[in-house]
Amino acid sequence: MTTIVLLPGMDGTGTLYEPLHKALNGRCKLLVLTYPPDQALGYAELEILVQTQLPQDEDYILLGESFSGPIAISIAATKPVRLKALILCVTFACNPYPWMAGFRFVLPYLPTRLAPLRVLSHMLLGRFSSKELCMQLADALAGVRPASLKARLHSVLSCDVREKLQGIKVPVLYLQANRDRLIPVSAHADIKTQLHEMEICRYDAPHFLLQTKADAVAKDVQQLMSKVEVDRES
């Protein structure tokens, strides 16, 4: 059975994926990694941490959601022996808002709480928002130190792993949310220009795609897994 290794969004808690667990219904193993909630680590440090937790004795598919896309891209470019495919979910290969790059220098001076929950719900969920999802989001963020979130946001504003895309030799699937208010379409286009054979699945969904369209995502992921298994046996 192929394992899906999921690298989480910016909260890093790994607590927001129960819908995907249920949708996969035991047809594959879902391993959700987490990031230290009390350490101010950037992409380089988090990539090292992820590398130590990747399966060594079984095949796996790497799924990088949102914030973790650059980590997944960077790891896939190293051509791990057991890596069979890469899934990029509502994510980017470089700072999706280049005009905000200078903003990273003022992050240490910003208020402890970067944005009210109402604003985050609007950006991440939009009209798909529900009381349950908002509570789960609030609980996840409450467990992470502000300094950790600021360090991760700083990494996003400094990020550019586009040159590593050409080093990826496994099949790549991009999951795109048509109602994403956080990651612009240009972020996907940057990746597509380097990975011409990348497949794309589009959903009528907000940025929280894995939480609101888990059944549809699970179906497409399983199709990718079937292709990977066929290629492995041929």
pLDDT bracket for residue 109 (50, 70, 90): very low
pLDDT for residue 48 is more than 90 = yes
Number of C-beta neighbours around residue 14 at 10 A? 16
185-222: pLDDT as tens digits: 889 888 999 998 999 999 999 999 999 999 999 999 99
111-146: pLDDT as tens digits: 445 566 777 787 788 888 888 888 888 898 888 998
- DSSP-based three-state secondary structure for 92: coil
pLDDT given for residue 18 in this prediction = 95
Number of domains in the chain: 1
Extract the tokens encoding 15.
């607590």
CA 21, 43, 170, 93 torsion-angle sign: positive
Extract the tokens encoding 12.
């890093």
154-181: pLDDT as tens digits: 899 999 999 999 999 999 999 999 999 9
Residue 165 CA, distance from chain mean position: 16
pTM: 0.92
> Which residue in this structure is represented by tokens 């960077």?
74
- Domain region containing 132: 3-233
DSSP assigned state of 8: P
> Which residue in this structure is represented by tokens 């035991």?
26
CATH of the domain at 32: 3.40.50.1820
Mean pLDDT computed over 4-27: 94
pLDDT bracket for residue 107 (50, 70, 90): low
pLDDT given for residue 183 in this prediction = 92
